[in-house]
Amino acid sequence: MGRLIENLYAVAGSGLTHEWDASAYLVAGDEPVLIDCGSTVGYTKLKANLQQIGYAPKDIRKVIATHGHWDHVSGMALLREESDAEFLIHEADRRQVESGDTDKTAAFLYNEPFPKIAVDGLIQDGETLRLGDYDFEVIHTPGHSLGSVSLYTRIHDLGILIVGDTVWGGFHPRIGSDIDKWEQSLDRLLELDFDVFTWGHGQPCLIPEAKVRIQEARRQLGVYFHPWFKPFYRKFTY
Ligand SMILES: [Zn+2]
Ligand SMILES: [Zn+2]
């Protein structure tokens, strides 16, 4: 767990909670907010990580979803049991989390159920969210899923982009992927003025030389599809 910059912390993800969890971030302050919250299986560790920064689940006011996949937001079902935090997501990923669709939420990749999560509010393209001391711009970046969003902020002079799975995320129609929309989304991100980015998987950190790296991801998008992907819960040995 760690502070990324000022009041922005990484609180879930690889090495922080469960190996299946996507990265999640805390914007600390008087009204703490989470950007994604990880999965049900990582929730206990998420709580411990929040506690280390001085927060309990009941302190969290909002959870902003980068998109409606199991590894990013299913933990919300447990957070809700001990918090009044509101859950906000893009309209296009709303139905799948409210209905617990195991395909669209990618829960089938983990052989886990997706607990139904009621949505309290929607976030949309172009909207500015005041999270803690910072303004985050919502950029609708469909492609990995149709309701994927990226969040853009500036902290002092540093342009920061939080992309969820819009960069290096998996592709499958079952999880709502669309390659043409995804290309357009990456092109939109590349128009922004940013210095660092962080994505949904791998070690949660602010990655430098961000523009060059997202340009590389853009070039690699869709060049090769692998039909033998192994679900995360399955290990084949021969
Ligand atoms: Zn993910
Ligand atoms: Zn995803």
CATH of the domain at 45: 3.60.15.10
Q: Please, which pLDDT band fits residue 234 given cuts at 50, 70 and 90?
A: confident
| Assigned domain for 103 exists | yes
Is 30 within the bounds of a domain?
A: yes
pLDDT in tens, 178-206: 999 999 999 999 999 999 999 999 989 99
Residue 27's pLDDT band, with cuts at 50, 70 and 90, is very high
pLDDT for 238 equals 81
Total of domains in the chain: 1
Q: What is the pLDDT of residue 1?
A: 59
Ligand index nearest the alpha carbon of residue 22:
1
Question: Do the beta carbons of residue 202 and residue 164 sit within 8 Å?
Answer: no
Segments in 108-209 forming alpha helices (H)? 179-190
pTM of the model: 0.97
| Dist. CA 200 → ligand 2 center (Å) | 8
Q: What is the DSSP letter of 207?
A: B
CA end-to-end distance (rounded Å), the chain? 36
Residue 234 in domain: no
Whether residue 233 is contained in a domain is answered as: no
Ligand number, closest to the Cα atom of 177: 2
228 part of a folded domain:
no
Ligand minimally distant from the alpha carbon of residue 96: 2
- For residue 229, being part of any structural domain is answered with no
Residue 66: domain span: 2-220
20 burial class (0-12, 13-18, 19+ CB within 10 angstroms)? buried
Let me know if residue 95 belongs to a domain: yes
